[in-house]
Chains A and B, each alone.
Chain A
Amino acid sequence: NAGVTQTPKFQVLKTGQSMTLQCAQDMNHEYMSWYRQDPGMGLRLIHYSVGAGITDQGEVPNGYNVSRSTTEDFPLRLLSAAPSQTSVYFCASIGTGQTEAFFGQGTRLTVV
């Protein structure tokens, strides 16, 4: 009963490096989303997907890419990390016709 699994849990990057945050869900949910959480700002939507092969931008998409080749996986790519991307990242999924979002445990990313 894994739910939504995010890896890694912690990561330190140097400015300019690239990396991929992984997100996998085993609930056969169609909808998946990425959020970033910053102090005093709540969670903000980065990208979301309504099914395999379909993605769209959220509120703060700049500097991030996503793809959805399978229902289970929704990786988030940082192409060239910047200190402004230091944040906690959460992946979430929702089943078709459902309203409750299930969140992963988060990835704490520090860009130095």
Chain B
Amino acid sequence: AQSVTQLGSHVSVSEGALVLLRCNYSSSVPPYLFWYVQYPNQGLQLLLKYTTGATLVKGINGFEAEFKKSETSFHLTKPSAHMSDAAEYFCAVSRNTGTASKLTFGTGTRLQVTL
């Protein structure tokens, strides 16, 4: 069984400040890990993913995440927040069996960026 925990349903940062969104996972097999972003009234867009290899992965819009197996974490960071980053962010996990169609999502973190 897999599960994802996102700490903090709402995070507020000032423009230019560091963004840190936390994600911890539970998986009985080596996981695939994802971060998706959802802008208002839109579908989900992939920010970045970890499958194998380098544990620090870079995504779109300046975001990156580091897979830490010992901590079962996959936190999302961005050095400097921009107003356009305001959205809801979802961490997700799937089994690395090739059937990545079965995603387990966290409950989401809404990011607010203030002036």
Contacts and interface: CB of A to CB of B under 8 A. Distances in A.
Interface of A: 4, 31-33, 35, 40-45, 48-50, 58, 90, 92-94, 96-101, 103-106
Contact of A97 (B9, B98, B108): B98
Interface in B2-53: 4, 6, 9, 32, 34, 36, 41-46, 49, 51
A58 B102 contact: yes
A45 B100 contact: no
A48 B102 contact: yes
A92 to B, nearest CB: 7
Contacts of B36: 103
A99 B43 contact: no
Interface string B101-115: 111111110000000
Contact of A101 (B41, B101, B106): B101
B100 A40 contact: no
Contacts of B41: 106
Nearest to A58: B102
Interface of B: 4, 6, 9, 32, 34, 36, 41-46, 49, 51, 90, 92, 94, 98-108
- Where chain A touches its partner, the secondary structure class is strand
B43 A43 contact: no
16 contacts: A33-B101, A33-B103, A40-B107, A41-B107, A42-B108, A43-B44, A43-B105, A45-B103, A45-B104, A48-B101, A99-B34, A101-B34, A103-B36, A105-B42, A105-B43, A106-B41
A99 B44 contact: no
A72 to B, nearest CB: 15
B43 A50 contact: no
Contacts of A97: 98
B44 A103 contact: yes
Contact of B99 (A50, A90, A100): A50
B90 A43 contact: yes
A99 to B, nearest CB: 5
Contacts of B34: 99, 101
